[in-house]
Structure 1
Amino acid sequence: MPSLPSAGRSCRTGQGSEGRMKSSIRPLLVNTFDQTGGAARAAYRLLGGLRRSGSPAQMVVRGKSSGDDAVIKCESDWLGWCKGVLDILPLKAYPGRQQHNFSPARVPDQFGKMLARLQPDLLHLHWMSYGFFKIETLALLDMPIVWTLHDSWPFSGGCHLPGECRKFLKMCGACPVLDSTKQDDLSHRVWMRKRKSYALSRLNLVAPSRWMAERARESSLLGAFPLDVIPNGVDVNLFSPGSRLAARDRLCLPQEGMLILFGARHALSDRNKGFGELCQALKQLPSELRGQTILVSFGESPDTPLPDLGVKVVSLGEITNDNHIVDLYRAADVLVVCSHEENLPNMISEAMACGLPCVAFDVGGISDQVVHRRTGCLASPQDSAALASEISWLLSRVRGEPGFSSAARKHAIENFALEHVARLHLELYRRVLEPVPVREVDKR
């Protein structure tokens, strides 16, 4: 099997004039998009952090929204659309499947030409779906590969969010995401393709949370590969505390009242985001609290009809500008995250950096971010009564006890600051690029 071009550059580090560690390590970050979705935002922020640390890092994407010259669009929109359609054709055999939760990764990609042209030292993979990446390509890459596990897809038989399913511990098959009862289904076949390709790959894994690290280590596909826990980074200079009243004025939000912030991409239509549980929780708040509470939602069309929630609602639609998002965090009293399954949500780290405490279900890696009743509150998963209780507890204290805000900010700076996260990645890159020592054999 022929290999794609290998790394050919020397890698050196040194001190710059400002005393900051400079690095000539040239990683190539790969993600389907540079701005759309949580993984894209995390990868693009890492790109910026690496470049500010002196690394000539670049990023390859299919869909480019930024004007950043370090981001390279490798496919036309038309070709990308066609490949996305072709990639999901096998899913037509599973009409009862969950939507938008399975990627076969079977369509040929552009990695060979891309690597020959850019000549990186290593490849740093992030989230690659919609026909952007073919599993078999991994076996052809003659260079170290770092892969950040933004969801469970790298170690599953094709699903991104397995929920309660644990079949990734073995060989997948009879996949509940596909609504399949056959062992030799698409999920098992994707699992087999991954096993074959991974065995010929030089993989080094990054898990943004301890929870994701545990799942990867116990998985049948990735359990034997080296793994580091490195969180997604956030710019704590941009995401910072500010005047609540001034932020509300800029966003045309009411100056009075307690604002609960809820949002995500497809926040209302994606069942995993838990909007149904939030609706029930808001109705269970004490009546005197409901009267002064306003739910501010974003991430969905402002024209999307909403059920009666028992509180006033302001829908802001989709917001992508970071400055507007910062104002949202500054304007709110509490962020609520009701997801059924999450890795390490950017939104929580961003909010905490702005001094906004969070109430969330205790799922996935959220406990790495929310320290219960110190930087926010954790509720039992999918329990609307527990969620209501924690929202009520925090709302009744957050204005009078500024310690929540300062603790959230401190936790974000110490754990998720982008400069710190970029440094951890550069240390990992140096380690994986070190020559593997050849073991001497005693032939006597």
Structure 2
Amino acid sequence: MAETSVAVVVLAAGQGSRMQSDMPKVLHRLGGVPLVGHALAAARSLEPEQVIVVAGHGAEAVERAVRKLEPEARIVLQRDQLGTGHAVRQALPGLEGFEGKVIVLYGDTPFIGEETLSALSGHPADLVVLGFEAEDPGRYGRLVVSGKGLERIVEYKDADAAIRRIALCNSGVMALDAALLRQLIVRLTNENAAGEYYLTDLVELARAEGCRTDVVTCDEEETLGINTRAELAAAEAAFQARARRAALENGVTLTDPGTVWFSLDTFIGRDAIIGANVVFGPGVTVESGAEILPFCHLEGCHVSAGATVGPFARLRPGAELGGDVHVGNFVEIKNAVLDEGVKVGHLTYLGDAHVGEHANIGAGTVTCNYDGVMKHRTEIGARAFIGSDTMLVAPVRVGAQAVTGSGSVITRDVEDGALAIGRARQDNKPGLGIRLMQALRLRKEQG
């Protein structure tokens, strides 16, 4: 937890033209969530007093995404993209009265770690820049440091040969005192080749005021920015490698790690077993000792200890599986609670339902929950037995220890302990089957 009050400004206004997309760059997904979600998650680790997101291109879509990810965040608009300094200036009204440290993050830089952010927020300098030693410095801006800290940031195009040999590069991430930010950012100018207001120019302004400026360093991987589809794919690979490694180190068994795909917020308890080709969408918790068999897709669900899922099962948002529940192959669960010990073996859809403990759901069962306009709920009592190929037309309740006959269409409530049969009467016509097939074959021959 930060020692001083912290506010975070996330810059998310860029169009990202190199992505070749109509969608704002920060909304492209990494680890199951928009890129900006990673910056917001990093900010959350600081327990900030406030989070301000600066939106621009596609601002309405960015705001909708941010509201889902961080409802308390404030969104401000940068109507014209005139540089990073100009973007941060749009956040000033939201920082009015705030006393503490402001950290500037980027919505397209997803891998800044908690330790790095803690080092930035806790550093005693008035202004701190996040730097990294680049294997190939390329066209990054260079950080010029001395025994007195950070002297200046030199953009590549303005650097001479000696400066370009410096391997310490600028990530763009910055932390500085809020009062200093308010004092200096209004003094930025756009007197440069790009005609933009650069946040990096704050270093020179701060030093002119006698302020202490310094650098915190991190691994280059943490500063990876996403500008192209290829970089997004590389970032996804890096994210998944991290997530798989963390799961293994935390006591999770991955039978084929390279085929398991995680989201940013996936939580899996120790001694859980995850089979091959399992995909975790956002919002999944799998408790200790549960097993997810191969070829399953889970999103927005909770799997309790001892439960087994799959193979080839789908858990959609709102699926809640109690302890020792079994969900088998080609079963889909959506917005439904399955209490302890429920068994749903195969070929079943349970949506908008509650299934009581130790109920058994036969193959081919469907909760018919949607009438074309509204969704309706199905209630199945404890230890009920739902026969194969039962259609439960919601809203409907099947009582505790009740039984439905295979092939039934259940349209009325079934009291506790009752047997419900809702089939059409079977009528056998002797010899008609043979005559019917003969007639059909003849018709086929005659064209």
> Which TM-score tier does this pair reach, normalised by the shorter chain?
under 0.3
Give the TM-score, by structure 1 length.
0.27
Higher relative contact order (CA 8 A, sep 6+): 1
Which structure carries more helix by proportion? 1
Give the TM-score, by structure 2 length.
0.27
Select the structure of larger CA radius of gyration.
2
Which structure carries more strand by proportion? 2
